[in-house]
Amino acid sequence: MPKVFTHATGCKISYCDTKEAEELFCAAGWEIAKQPEEADLFLLTACTVTSKADADLRKTARQMKNKNPRAKLWVYGCWANVAEKHEPLDLADAVVKSKEELKALLAERKGEAQAKPELERNRLFVKVQDGCDRFCAYCIVPFARGVPKSMPYSEILSRVKKAREEDIKECVLSGIHIASWKEDGRDIADLCAALLKDTDLPRLRVSSLDVTGASEKLRKLMKEEPRLMPHLHIPLQSGSDRVLRLMNRPLSRAQLLAAMQAFLSEVPRMMLSTDIIVGFPGETEEDFQETLSFVDRIPFGKVHYFPYSPRPGTAAAQRTKDFVPEAVKKEREERLRAAAQKAAEICRAPFRGQTFKVLTENRTKDGVLGFTENYLRILTKKDLKQNEIIDLEIDGNITEFIPQ
């Protein structure tokens, strides 16, 4: 019976795509391999948002083929959709650009297994939207994913109900640009309200959300509905209006700051996280100082920061004369690291000694890991089962916050 081993790199959408692909494989009679050595085929769903992501793909492909040289390798996801913009990946036996292409390939290689893909025990990432038409200067994703497409509510609801049948306690709404989700005049806030009304899901979470989706309606719902988790990841990328314009991001520092401060002031136990690019072409020291001052004003629980790397095929990659020297990027990254650490400490400080409802996850040698409602990672020494929602006091001894 043919077996496939799947692996995803990059964002949560790569992960969602991989889970959807597993369903297609199982429907075609394949089994999902637990280990690479068992597989007849590798399906690698690959990110392509940066040059580093491309390098990671090649490294992962080599590692997988070294573990099992006999297995074929199919590349799927964003990388596959813009494969013509890359150097060829010689290890790949097929580059699969869409679900339709994947279905066609599987039609040629049917198996007889009656398997079904396993859902996560703790949380499920539910893709509600795909595509983007923002064309930020650093981003290749609109070329890889196409225009925004909203998944029908009926399909989203079915996936959440299926998750509940599998005892999933938390679903995370994910997408490339989920603020653009629309159906019959309803937006992302309405989607959240409908899912909470139509299911008994204990915890609903919204993943990375453009600030245009961080509306007063969503804020009110999050404030009043305890099953909608008080956390948002709102990408910043830069705290400088000038750099935001260079990035072709139609947002302002004031708009971002006002939205974030509104959620923090109105939603109990609200936590925010963000993304920041260091050393975007043309970024000056003054611009970077504006980013640091933004982080000083917002107590982010987590800042995902990374140095700019030119992505071929994007507008920013052509501005070679404006590239920030590597040494400068490294020095700024270190300063941002310190500012992010300080912000995270400020974020957590008021919550120490409080009791949270924690969704328990995997067990380690040091204890059981989990996440609070507001997406702060904890470690507890208590002997707990996985996939339970438990009241835990963050006492700094038995249960404590840990970096995430």
- Per-residue pLDDT tens for 149-168? 999 999 999 999 999 998 99
Q: Which two tokens stand for residue 84?
A: 């013509």
CA distance 387 to 172: 15
CA distance 18 to 68: 20
The secondary structure of residue 207, as a DSSP letter, is: -
Element (H, E) at 329: helix 326-348
User: How many CB atoms neighbour CB 322 within 10 A?
Assistant: 12
Mean confidence (pLDDT) of the chain: 90
> What integer pLDDT is reported at residue 353 of this predicted model?
96
Name the more confident of 376 and 57. Answer: 376
Question: Band of the pLDDT at 99, cuts 50, 70, 90?
Answer: confident
Residue 119 has pLDDT above 90, yes or no: no
Least confident stretch, 60-69, 191-200, 294-303: 60-69
> What integer pLDDT is reported at residue 62 of this predicted model?
87
Q: At what angle do helices 253-266 and 285-297 cross, to 10 degrees?
A: 10
> What integer pLDDT is reported at residue 16 of this predicted model?
81
Element (H, E) at 271: strand 271-278
Domain ranges of the chain: 3-107, 123-349, 352-401
Interacting residues of 15 by C-beta distance below 8 A, sequence separation 6+: 8, 45, 125
Averaged pLDDT for residues 220-247: 97
**Mind listing the pLDDT tens digit for each residue in 355-391?**
999 999 988 889 999 999 999 999 999 999 989 999 9
Question: Band of the pLDDT at 83, cuts 50, 70, 90?
Answer: low
Q: What is the CATH number of domain 123-349?
A: 3.80.30.20
Residue 87 has pLDDT above 70, yes or no: no
Residue 107 has pLDDT above 90, yes or no: no
Backbone angles phi, psi at 340, to 5 degrees: -65, -40
Task: Classify domain 3-107 at the CATH topology level.
Answer: Rossmann fold (3.40.50)
Averaged pLDDT for residues 289-302: 97
> What integer pLDDT is reported at residue 121 of this predicted model?
61
